[in-house]
Amino acid sequence: MYKTGNVMKYKSTRSTNGEAVSAAVAIKNGLAPDGGLYMPESIPTLSAGDLAELAGMSYPERAARILSLYLTDYTEEELLADCRAAYAESRFPGGAAPVRPIDGDVYSLELWHGPTSAFKDMALQIMPRLLSRALKKTGEDRTALILVATSGDTGKAALEGYRDVDGVKILVFYPTDGVSRIQKLQMTTQEGKNVGVRGIYGNFDDAQSGVKRIFSDAAMAEKLNASGVFLSSANSINWGRLAPQIAYYVSAYCDMVAAGHVAEGAPIDVAVPTGNFGNIFAAYLARLMGVPIGRLICASNSNNVLTEFLETGTYDRNRTFHMTVSPSMDILISSNLERLLYLVLGAEKTADYMKKLSEIGVYSLAEEDMAEIKKIFVGYSCDEAETAENIRTAFTRYGYLIDTHTAVGYGAARKHLAAFGAKRPIVLASTASPYKFAPAVYSAVKEAEAPEGTEALLALEKLSSVKIPAPLSGLDEKPILHAETIEHTAMPEAVLAFAGAN
């Protein structure tokens, strides 16, 4: 059964001889010193018996058990306490990760019942607790400054997760014209004595590249250190973000079996609306652990860099950046793809491709390497019209309301069924509450212009008779606390000023 006493160490995706570190250190550092991402040295496995045992547990118990296989320097008691607090009914009313049928073939894994109505809460409600413990476990006495680049949902979820956590400050950068009105309001009204929010002129990749550059700036680190501050990340490049996401795919399988949607041991396919490749990579890890998952369906919006990669083996970020109704997927550099390359190709080739990506923005995999990936991953993209049509179809035909991101995933699932037939039930990661993108969802269903502001939420509620999540109602009445917008080139100064190190 579970191998107790096993120690899991973590290595960089770019180093063949680098030092292996504990989970606490990997979570504390976020990014490896060589710019690579931390990966466990081995993938723990779950037997059929383990899955059966997990099926009898609550969500917090399932999550704690999965985490205990990876975070071996945390005790089971610590993890269980953290998961119970993070995934409590009070934070996730209606359950942390329930599975609901949409149509006869596709099942929605609802990951948006948390405090900010997006799936990022699944990781960001627990990760601050894991970081807090990591600081103690590693004897750290400096303040951790969490830097976040966000295309919308991570920012709010991180702010909510880290607000007023001792020993931690958090500064969030978002593209000022690249997020929805509600996403912006959620962030600019954020309360908490340790939080900062800055809009930047530029797109998400500008924000993300800016943050990455700051992380690898030694002079900056020195200045911060002199003020008793070090940098840490909450982006999905941090292992502490990814590990908790594995749990809901394991959980979904247990629930699919329990509900009789799939026979015990028989495979499901999983469809994931993808941006940074974090969520779908967590599904891949669940698959490697032994959860019966066949195909991983990678869904993209008009920013279809991953669809093209999965088709051709060429990753090319030199393309037009589209602003879509699914802004959390408006991404041209899918950072976590690096972790997949590492598992399939090893560190040396990965480092090489990542160098190419940063220098010329494009790399191509050898055919045999790509064949490995294609055995499991398949990509589809949906443009804006298709996204709207998917929302309309899911609601008018099946009475199930989905947000714009989930709609891209639903479209990909339908395209996969059309291409391959319904061989296996598909679990679709539903990544946001439809209310988070109310105007786009409303106009997709009604094929008409949506009302302005809060009216859009109310109109959608009236139309669908699905209740507005409590944290989203009343946003308009909250005072704006963070109005500042800066050039993306000014991000380093903003960090130093926020840290009090300038």
Ligand X SMILES: *Cc1c(COP(=O)(O)O)cnc(C)c1O
Residue carrying the six token digits 């950068």: 173
Does residue 276 contact residue 235 with C-beta atoms inside 8 Å?
Answer: yes
Q: Which of residues 62 and 120 has its CB atom nearest to ligand X in the complex?
A: 120
* Between 15 and 279, CB nearer to ligand X: 279
Q: Among residues 336 and 454, whose Cβ is nearest to ligand X?
A: 336
CA distance 30 to 242: 11
For the question of residue 349 being annotated catalytic, the response is no
Structure tokens at 367: 């055919």
Give the nearest distance from C-beta 330 to ligand X in angstroms.
Answer: 10
Least Å from the CB of residue 128 to ligand X: 18
C-beta separation of 436 from 403 below 8 A: yes
CB of 118 to ligand X, least distance (A): 4
Q: In what order do the strands lie in the sheet with 268-273?
A: 99-101, 106-110, 426-430, 268-273, 293-300, 377-381
Assign 437 to helix, strand or coil.
Answer: helix
HSE-up of 489 (CA within 13 Å, CB side)?
0
Of residues 50 and 275, the one with the C-beta less far from ligand X: 275
Q: Element (H or E) spanning 269, and its range?
A: strand 268-273
Contacts of 353 (CB under 8 A, 6+ apart): 315, 341, 345, 363, 365
Shortest separation between residue 433's beta carbon and ligand X, angstroms: 9
Asked if 289 and 45 count as a contact pair (C-beta separation under 8 A), the reply is yes
Burial label for 17, CB within 10 Å (0-12, 13-18, 19+), is exposed
Among 3, 9, 11, 120, the active-site one is: 120
Give which of 120, 51, 127 is closest to 83, Cα–Cα: 127
Q: Which is nearer to ligand X, 350 or 431 (CB)?
A: 431
Assigned token pair, 281: 């990579």
CB of 279 to ligand X, least distance (A): 4
Q: Which residues lie near ligand X (CB under 6 A)? A: 118, 120, 153, 236, 273-279, 328-329, 405, 431-432
169 closest CA partner among 195, 139, 197:
195
Q: Minimum distance between the CB of residue 111 and ligand X, rounded to whole angstroms?
A: 9
Cα separation of 42 and 299, whole Å?
28
CB 181 within 8 A of CB 483: no
Question: How would you classify residue 194: left for phi > 0, otherwise alpha for psi between -120 and 50, otherwise beta?
Answer: alpha
Task: With H, G, I as helix, E, B as strand and everything else as coil, classify residue 292.
Answer: coil
Shortest Å distance, C-beta 228 to ligand X: 32
Locus of tokens 């069924």: 417
As annotated, the active-site residues are 120
